[in-house]
Structure 1
Amino acid sequence: MKQWYQELFSNYAEKYESECYTHGTQGEVNFIEKELNYNKNAKILDIGCGTGRHSIELTKRGYSVVGMDLSESMLNKARENAENEGLKLDLRQADARNLLFEEEFDLVIMICEGGFSLMETDEMNFQILENAAKALKKNGKLIFTTLNGLFPLFHSVKDFINSNSENQVNMDNNFDLMTFRDHNTMEIEGDDGEIMVLDCNERYYVPSEITWLLKSLNFTKIEIFGCKLGEFSRKDSLTTEDYEMLVVGEL
Structure 2
Amino acid sequence: MNDWFENEDFWVQYAPIMFDSSRWAEASAVAEGIFKLAGKDRDPHSLHILDAGCGLGRISVELALCGAQVTGVDMIRPFLDAGAEAAAAEKVEIEWVQADLRNFVRPAAFDIAVNMYTSFGYCKTIQEDAQILHNIAESVKPDGFFILEMLGREIAVRDFTAGEWFERAGYTVLTDFSVEGAWEGLRSHWQLYTKEGLKADHCFVQRLYAATELRELLLKAGFHSVEIYGDFDRSPYNEKARTMILLAQKSS
TM-score range (shorter-chain normalised) is 0.7 to 0.9
Alignment partner of 1:29 out of 31, 47, 57: 31
Alpha-carbon distance between aligned partners in 1 of 2:6 and 2:248, rounded to the nearest angstrom = 28
- CA contact under 8 A between 1:65 and 1:89: conserved in structure 2? yes
Provide the residue aligned with 1:233 in structure 2. Answer: 233
- Please state how far the C-alpha of 1:144 moved relative to its aligned partner: 1.1
Q: Are 1:149 and 2:188 matched, yes or no? A: no
Alpha-carbon distance between aligned partners in 2 of 1:46 and 1:165, rounded to the nearest angstrom = 30
Provide the residue aligned with 1:249 in structure 2. Answer: 248
Judged with a 3 Å threshold, the aligned counterparts in structure 2 of structure 1 residues 247 and 197 are, in CA distance, closer, same or farther, namely: same
Judged with a 3 Å threshold, the aligned counterparts in structure 2 of structure 1 residues 194 and 97 are, in CA distance, closer, same or farther, namely: farther
Partner secondary structure for residue 216 of structure 1: helix
Provide the residue aligned with 2:133 in structure 1. Answer: 129
CA RMSD across the alignment: 2.5
Alpha-carbon distance between aligned partners in 2 of 1:194 and 1:26, rounded to the nearest angstrom = 35
Alpha-carbon distance between aligned partners in 2 of 1:141 and 1:44, rounded to the nearest angstrom = 10
User: Which structure 2 segments of 5+ residues have no match?
Assistant: none
- Please state how far the C-alpha of 1:9 moved relative to its aligned partner: 1.4
Alignment partner of 2:20 out of 14, 18, 21: 18
Partner secondary structure for residue 97 of structure 1: coil
Q: Deviations over 1:32-56 (max 9, x none)?
A: 1222224421111101111111111
User: Which structure 1 segments of 5+ residues have no match?
Assistant: none
The amino acid of 1:197's aligned partner reads D
Aligned sequence identity (%): 23
Q: Are 1:85 and 2:86 matched, yes or no? A: no
- How many residue pairs align between the two structures? 240
Partner secondary structure for residue 196 of structure 1: strand
Judged with a 3 Å threshold, the aligned counterparts in structure 2 of structure 1 residues 83 and 13 are, in CA distance, closer, same or farther, namely: farther
Q: Are 1:204 and 2:208 matched, yes or no? A: yes
Alpha-carbon distance between aligned partners in 1 of 2:236 and 2:51, rounded to the nearest angstrom = 25
Judged with a 3 Å threshold, the aligned counterparts in structure 2 of structure 1 residues 91 and 18 are, in CA distance, closer, same or farther, namely: same
Q: Normalized against structure 2, the TM-score is what?
A: 0.85
Judged with a 3 Å threshold, the aligned counterparts in structure 2 of structure 1 residues 148 and 72 are, in CA distance, closer, same or farther, namely: same
- CA contact under 8 A between 1:211 and 1:222: conserved in structure 2? yes
- In the TM superposition, 1:157-172 aligns within 5 A as 157-159=161-163, 162=164, 166=168, 168-171=173-176
- CA contact under 8 A between 1:112 and 1:146: conserved in structure 2? yes
Give 4+ residue runs of structure 1 displaced > 6 Å after superposition. Answer: none
- Please state how far the C-alpha of 1:15 moved relative to its aligned partner: 4.9
Q: Deviations over 1:223-243 (max 9, x none)?
A: 11113xxxx211x11124546
Q: Normalized against structure 1, the TM-score is what?
A: 0.85
Partner secondary structure for residue 13 of structure 2: coil
Alpha-carbon distance between aligned partners in 2 of 1:98 and 1:141, rounded to the nearest angstrom = 20
Q: Are 1:45 and 2:22 matched, yes or no? A: no
- In the TM superposition, 1:42-81 aligns within 5 A as 42-81=47-86
